Structure 1
Amino acid sequence: MDRLALLETFTVALDEGSLSRAARRRGLTQSAISQQIKLLEGLVGHQLLHRTAQGVRPTRSGELVYTHAQDLLGGYDRLTAELDQMQNSVSGDFRISVNTFLGRSVIGPLLIDLNRAHEDLNIIMRVEDRLVDVVRENYDLAIRTGRIGDTDGVGRRIATMETVLFATPAYLDQMGRPEGPADLARLKFIQHHEDQTKGFFALTRDGREVQAPIRIGFTADDPHLILHAVQNGSGYTRVPSFMIEAELQNGTYEKVLPDWQAPDKEVFAVYPSRHAIDRRRDLIVDGVATRLAEIRAQNPQCTLKAFTA
């Protein structure tokens, strides 16, 4: 049995001066209280109580155990109180890893606002497009899209984003606009390293799914370099549609196969433990999910689902 529980039963018995009153206070039977004290006496190897018709009183050994038990139980209460405060506080160092496009467009501004609202919070944000191991690299949280990679941490999907295939009109004028998924084989795909297309994309239309052939022409881990490649006519690529909505509207970019839906991109929160409570982490994850839901509301044509469970 839990030794702290045995010590608590012992101290309550002495405080009450009676096993029967201690039983009522602890919500146990008197025989259970007596059994717990016998267990404690067996653990320490000393008789701790004198039992009389008037109640119970400590032996010399019992007085010593009582004194130390009060210190131990008080220390444990202070420990749990501090842990509760830590769990509910928004303070201290918080290390987070985010990829470039979400970090700059969504998460970075959110973290700046959160940091300003909490004076004792120190956010350490790393913008990096590699897949990190939150446990081994000592991160409190990572936000990732597409996949979470190899990690000892826990991944939870918090949103999915609609993506779009696009290129410059000049590139499509030069190469010819594809009329169906099979025509994508004529074009070069500029791939983000997270995509890992393995030669095909699942495109859907009217509930029908087709595996479209993908010819990789360039791969990079920097979204801005990928956009630069597209702008210079090196090929087409895929991004969340909200990122380039304005450019699609003003004609800078043009959708490739506009009647077909490209695969959704999932957004994951990755953290070291499923059971650890961290108010800072929860604020950030909820904030990201809320912000993505706001983007969906601002762009009705952008299908983006947020998950808070």
Structure 2
Amino acid sequence: MDELHPLRCLVAAVDAGSFTGAAKTLGVSQPAVSQKVKSLELAYGQTLLIRNRAGVQPTMAGQVAYGFGQKIGQALDEMRVELDSLQGTISGHIRITAGQSLSQTYLGEVVIALKAQHRDLKVDLVISDALIDLEKDNVDFAIRFGSPGQGRGIGRKIGVVQSVLAATPAYLDRAGRPHSPRELQNLDFIQYRDDTEQAMVAVTYEGQNLSVPVTPSLTADHPNLIAHALEKGLGFTKAPLYFVQNFLDSGVYEEVLPGCRPVPKPLYLVQREEVHNTARAKLFQEVLIEKLATAPGISISPDLRRMG
């Protein structure tokens, strides 16, 4: 028996909660869906769906069949996407997650470039500083600072990110410019809520790595809120160089204690195992590396830079 179509009918019925809903999804008649599921039950000798006035519900055997049906359907869809890529058409669906500052800047450019090159490719950008579980949340790619995180997924270090200590000149005129790292604690520190460093900043200064105490006076959970607090002269902050370079160049911000910079953080690309080495994964990595290589303060690994 050809089991692929009956399995698709089973999956559609469970997802829709009824044979009628499954028929609309598949573009066939309701009796055809019912008949295909019945043939599957006869082939395996088990009841897979319980039919009642409320619709259909899977039995334990039905849940097993549903799980395998989903995987088979996804594999067939993936095969179709990969076959299309051999003809130069990149399609399918990818979900990307990254923190707020990168998503608002260079990752947004990556998404636009992907869509401009391949109209059939569907791209979702999940903006979150949390370490999202790729499998649980069905996310294909994560760009992370500091650590690749835990759980399933193929992680690779693709570079390092340099941050900077910044404030407005007006604030430093009023509060005083520090002459050594320990004088940083005399200034008001604007803390990013999800930063793992609390009341301390790891910096490099005169060839040494130091852990410098700071005095948090305000905690914000969004980069734009921190930028607004800086503009109001409420203190200084630690920010990725790619996020503030334009403000430094224009004189809106000033680097606090030049020569004293936060210790660079490694930059990781984590991929869900199911999409690793697919055509769209290779495309995403190429475009990502190309865009990040132009970002101030982001140093891409030499072997990957040659790919971009």
What TM bracket, shorter-length normalisation? 0.5 to 0.7
Q: Secondary structure at the match of 2:294?
A: helix
Asked if the contact 1:159/1:289 (under 8 Å) is kept, the reply is no
Tell me the equivalent position of 1:158.
158
Is the alpha carbon distance of 1:276 and 1:210 closer, same or farther for their aligned partners in structure 2, counting shifts above 3 Å?
Answer: closer
Deviation of the 1:83 alpha carbon:
8.0
Query: For 1:75-117, what per-residue CA distance to the aligned partner results, in whole angstroms no more than 9, with x for missing partners?
Result: xxx9997585278662111111122221121111221121121
Aligned equivalents of 1:147, 1:86: Cα separation in 2: 35
Tell me the equivalent position of 2:35.
none
Counterpart AA for 2:83: Q
Q: Secondary structure at the match of 1:252?
A: coil
Matches within 5 A, 1:294-309: 294-296=294-296, 302=297, 304-307=298-301
Of residues 82-91 and 163-172 in structure 1, the stretch that sits farther from structure 2 once superposed is 82-91
Tell me the equivalent position of 2:256.
256
Compute the RMSD of aligned alpha carbons. Answer: 2.7
Is the alpha carbon distance of 1:220 and 1:183 closer, same or farther for their aligned partners in structure 2, counting shifts above 3 Å?
Answer: same
Instruction: Using structure 2 for the length normalisation, give the TM-score.
Output: 0.65
Specify every segment of 5 or more residues in structure 2 that has no aligned partner in the other structure, as ranges.
Answer: 1-75
Is the alpha carbon distance of 1:218 and 1:265 closer, same or farther for their aligned partners in structure 2, counting shifts above 3 Å?
Answer: farther
Deviation of the 1:165 alpha carbon:
0.2
Q: Secondary structure at the match of 1:177?
A: coil
Aligned equivalents of 1:127, 1:230: Cα separation in 2: 23
Tell me the equivalent position of 1:140.
140
Tell me the equivalent position of 1:201.
201
Q: Secondary structure at the match of 1:277?
A: coil
Asked if the contact 2:81/2:92 (under 8 Å) is kept, the reply is no
Counterpart AA for 1:85: L
Tell me the equivalent position of 1:94.
94
- Paired residues in the alignment total 226
Deviation of the 1:147 alpha carbon:
3.6
Aligned equivalents of 1:121, 1:83: Cα separation in 2: 10
Tell me the equivalent position of 2:109.
109
Query: For 1:236-281, what per-residue CA distance to the aligned partner results, in whole angstroms no more than 9, with x for missing partners?
Result: 1112223322322332111111122222133221222288322212
Aligned equivalents of 2:255, 2:79: Cα separation in 1: 56
Aligned equivalents of 2:278, 2:300: Cα separation in 1: 21
Counterpart AA for 2:116: R
Aligned equivalents of 1:183, 1:128: Cα separation in 2: 33
Asked if the contact 1:182/1:213 (under 8 Å) is kept, the reply is yes
Instruction: Using structure 1 for the length normalisation, give the TM-score.
Output: 0.65
Aligned equivalents of 1:203, 1:285: Cα separation in 2: 30
Aligned equivalents of 1:266, 1:192: Cα separation in 2: 18
Is the alpha carbon distance of 1:87 and 1:195 closer, same or farther for their aligned partners in structure 2, counting shifts above 3 Å?
Answer: farther
Tell me the equivalent position of 1:129.
129
Tell me the equivalent position of 2:211.
211
Aligned equivalents of 1:190, 1:282: Cα separation in 2: 38
Q: Is 1:85 paired with 2:83?
A: yes
Asked if the contact 1:202/1:209 (under 8 Å) is kept, the reply is yes
Aligned equivalents of 2:143, 2:127: Cα separation in 1: 10
Question: Which has more radius of gyration?
Answer: 1
Tell me the equivalent position of 2:242.
242
Aligned equivalents of 1:239, 1:80: Cα separation in 2: 39
Is the alpha carbon distance of 1:80 and 1:241 closer, same or farther for their aligned partners in structure 2, counting shifts above 3 Å?
Answer: closer
Is the alpha carbon distance of 1:149 and 1:218 closer, same or farther for their aligned partners in structure 2, counting shifts above 3 Å?
Answer: farther
Asked if the contact 1:197/1:214 (under 8 Å) is kept, the reply is no
Of residues 229-238 and 287-296 in structure 1, the stretch that sits farther from structure 2 once superposed is 287-296
Q: Secondary structure at the match of 2:105?
A: helix
Is the alpha carbon distance of 1:116 and 1:202 closer, same or farther for their aligned partners in structure 2, counting shifts above 3 Å?
Answer: same
Aligned equivalents of 2:136, 2:129: Cα separation in 1: 17
Is the alpha carbon distance of 1:228 and 1:277 closer, same or farther for their aligned partners in structure 2, counting shifts above 3 Å?
Answer: same
Tell me the equivalent position of 1:118.
118
Deviation of the 1:178 alpha carbon:
1.1
Counterpart AA for 2:90: V
Is the alpha carbon distance of 1:128 and 1:216 closer, same or farther for their aligned partners in structure 2, counting shifts above 3 Å?
Answer: same
Asked if the contact 2:209/2:263 (under 8 Å) is kept, the reply is no
